[in-house]
Amino acid sequence: MPRVSLTGRLLAARAQREAAHRRRQLRTVSMRDGVHCRVDGRELLNFCSNDYLGLSQHPRMIGALRDAASEGAGSTASHLVCGHGARHAALEAELADWLQAPRALLFGSGYMANLAVVQALLGDGDLCVQDRLNHASLIDAARLAGCTLKRYPHADAEGAARQLASHQDGAALLASDGVFSMDGDVAPLRALAQVAREQQATLYIDDAHGIGVLGEAGRGSVEAAGLAPADAPLRLVTFGKALGSVGAAVVGDADLVAHLAEAARPYIYTTALPPAQVAATREAVRIAREGDALRGQLRASIQRLKQGARAHGLALMPSDTPIQPLVVGSETHALAMADALEARGYWVAAIRPPTVPQGSARLRITLSAAHDPQQIDGLLDALAQARDAVMP
């Protein structure tokens, strides 16, 4: 019997995605100036970036990057060989101090960090319980670890407790996003922390979209929920959202983080972040810590968008974070509305299954402290016009 042709299989899968309006297109951004950008030659206002505090082009970050660039373009090796420099150590110390955690450990990306945590801590016979809407990296991490993966209904702490109680052998990790990237809502962290205590599980929070935005001094969703750092012994911090940089860190319990440094394959076998980028990230942390004014601007923009949406009859999902989704249902409608917005000068991403559940295709509107009121009002008018044109 002949082998299956990979090319034939891929072309068939592509045709299926085409028929379901699920093809992904790579867009080229040739210019960025705050929230203004040029995309495939077209000038657009960006309402789909995760640059929540507008730090990616902050002069202090650019200056730190430039000043450290003389040290070289790369770190030359993994942390455990010779890639861990003074700048890496300083950033880890700054993160631990900011987030009031015993220790921090740097990673090349949030995806790698999630793979590292679950793979290093769990194995055959252990249990990982996760929110059904967790980021894909957490799901993949449990599969890589070889542990039992159980998922509970979204934001259902009682469901998490039932899943944990159903499997009493081995170690248990309860993992949840802090802020859910496609819905914009916040996990019930106090209830999850209580469940973890009662079920003798370790709570791990992926706070990619909460750090810098929520909590006192931008410490994230765990602090905003009134929890102590020890209530969530491990947290993921990504640098590519509110901090405007690239990379990630896991912060938390000293023994757990030390184990990651010695046993997590995505840490051991990956080149460390470039020193200049680390310098820029450290500056971003400092800006975020003192960034109450930026967070105030962001909160005002969120309220303006929500109030304006109600006035225009646009039913945004319940969210008090910069992620403000507008569910339209079908992939066809989501793509058509995104195209209509782009024709009016606004860039809003159409998010479709399998990233979101079937029947919940949406426009994922994201706000930045860099947006001004007139830009938000213009987006609202364009959204209403696009809705009326596509869904009369």
Which residues are known catalytic residues?
A: 181, 209, 241
Q: What is the largest CA-CA distance in the chain?
A: 67
Q: Are strands 148-152 and 172-177 parallel, antiparallel or unpaired?
A: unpaired
Query: Rounded distance, CA 385 to CA 312, Å?
Result: 10
Asked whether 141 and 119 are in contact (CB, 8 A), the reply is yes
CA-CA-CA-CA torsion for 126, 128, 129, 134, nearest 10 degrees?
A: -170
Asked whether 157 and 138 are in contact (CB, 8 A), the reply is no
- End-to-end C-alpha distance for the chain, whole angstroms: 53
Closest CA to 219 of 54, 51, 367, 95: 95
Matching residue, tokens 């990504």: 238
Number of Cα atoms under 13 Å in the Cβ half of residue 351: 19
